[in-house]
Structures are given as structure tokens and as C-alpha cells.
Amino acid sequence: MRSDIKNAVMYGLFIGVLSIIWLVIVQKIWPGVKDNTLSLYEYLSGLIPLIGLFLGINAYRASLNGEMGFIQALVQCFKILIIGGGIAVLAGALYIGTITETGTASDLSGRLFAALLIGIILAFGVSLLLMTKSRKID
């Protein structure tokens, strides 16, 4: 398997599994989070993709001997987010459909859209932070 795909799968799994664990913990420990209002705990969940992307892109840059452009980093971020997001979406849909009685698909879709926007913003930020070819876009 190519190193970029292997890296994306590994850190995508990291984000996806931690997101599942976070979902279960938040729903079990803080049951008041089930309504349509956002809480501090949901804002803290943004640390999961931030840490996963940072570690994944840092490892990817190391595999490229420390030379990585912005577009290379951004594409790798999107690969990681697609895998991690796919796992989180499937787990969230399964959780809403089978385990919880109060959640609905519209609750999940609103949070997924917010997670998508946060993921895109984080991808741009991490790519800018970790790129090493400052004068070259690709």
C-alpha cells in the first residue's frame, strides 16, 4: 500500500474511532447534551480532528523527507478526513437509529454539517502550518 494511503487510513481510523468513543462517552456521562443546543463538550470534540490531522500530516511530511507543499498537505488532510468522517457518520447513524430514543436524523445531519465545516477549516489551517515549501503552492 502506498505511504500516503496508509497514512490516511491510519489517521482516519484514529479520528473515526476517537469520535465514536467521544459520542458514547458524551451520551452516557452527560445525557443533557441530547437536545438541539450545543454544549462545551461538543466544542471540545473539535480537538479530535485537529489532533488527528496534525499528527497525520506531520507523519506524512516526515515520509516526504520534510519537504511538503500546501496542496500536498491539503489533499492528504482531505483523505484523512474522508476516512475518519465516513467512520463517524456510519457510527452516528447507527447510534441514532438503534441506541438512542431521543435523537433524530435531523439532529445528526446538523452536527455532521458543522463537523464538515470544522474539518475543512482545520485542513486549511494544518496544511498552512505544516507546509515547508513556502514559495511553491503544489
Q: Give the chain's domain count.
A: 1
In a domain, 60, yes or no: yes
- pLDDT digit string (tens) for 105-130? 666 677 778 888 999 999 999 999 99
In a domain, 114, yes or no: yes
In a domain, 53, yes or no: yes
Cα–Cα separations (whole angstroms), residue 115 to 24, 48, 112, 127:
17, 11, 5, 18
Burial (CB count within 10 angstroms: exposed 0-12, middle 13-18, buried 19+), residue 97? exposed
Burial (CB count within 10 angstroms: exposed 0-12, middle 13-18, buried 19+), residue 11? buried
Amino acid identity, position 107: D
Residue 138 has pLDDT above 60, yes or no: no
Domain membership of residue 93 as a residue range: 3-130
Q: Which of 48-62, 95-109, 112-126 has the lowest mean pLDDT?
A: 95-109
| Whole-number Å distance between alpha carbons of 4 and 63 | 9
Q: Is 95 or 76 the better-scoring residue by pLDDT?
A: 76
Cα–Cα separations (whole angstroms), residue 99 to 15, 21, 22, 28, 39:
22, 14, 15, 11, 21
Residue 30 has pLDDT above 60, yes or no: yes
In a domain, 136, yes or no: no
Q: What is the pLDDT of residue 103?
A: 57
**Angle ∠(127,133,134) on CA atoms, nearest 5:** 80
In a domain, 118, yes or no: yes
In a domain, 51, yes or no: yes
> What crossing angle do the helices spanning 47-63 and 70-94 adopt, rounded to 10°?
140
In a domain, 107, yes or no: yes
Over range 50-66, report the average pLDDT. 94
User: What do you get for the CA distance between the two ends of the chain, in Å?
Assistant: 23
Q: How confident is the model at residue 32 (pLDDT cuts 50, 70, 90)?
A: low
Over range 5-28, report the average pLDDT. 89
Q: What is the pLDDT of residue 38?
A: 61
pTM above 0.75, yes or no: yes
In a domain, 37, yes or no: yes
Q: What is the pLDDT of residue 28?
A: 74
Q: What is the pLDDT of residue 18?
A: 92
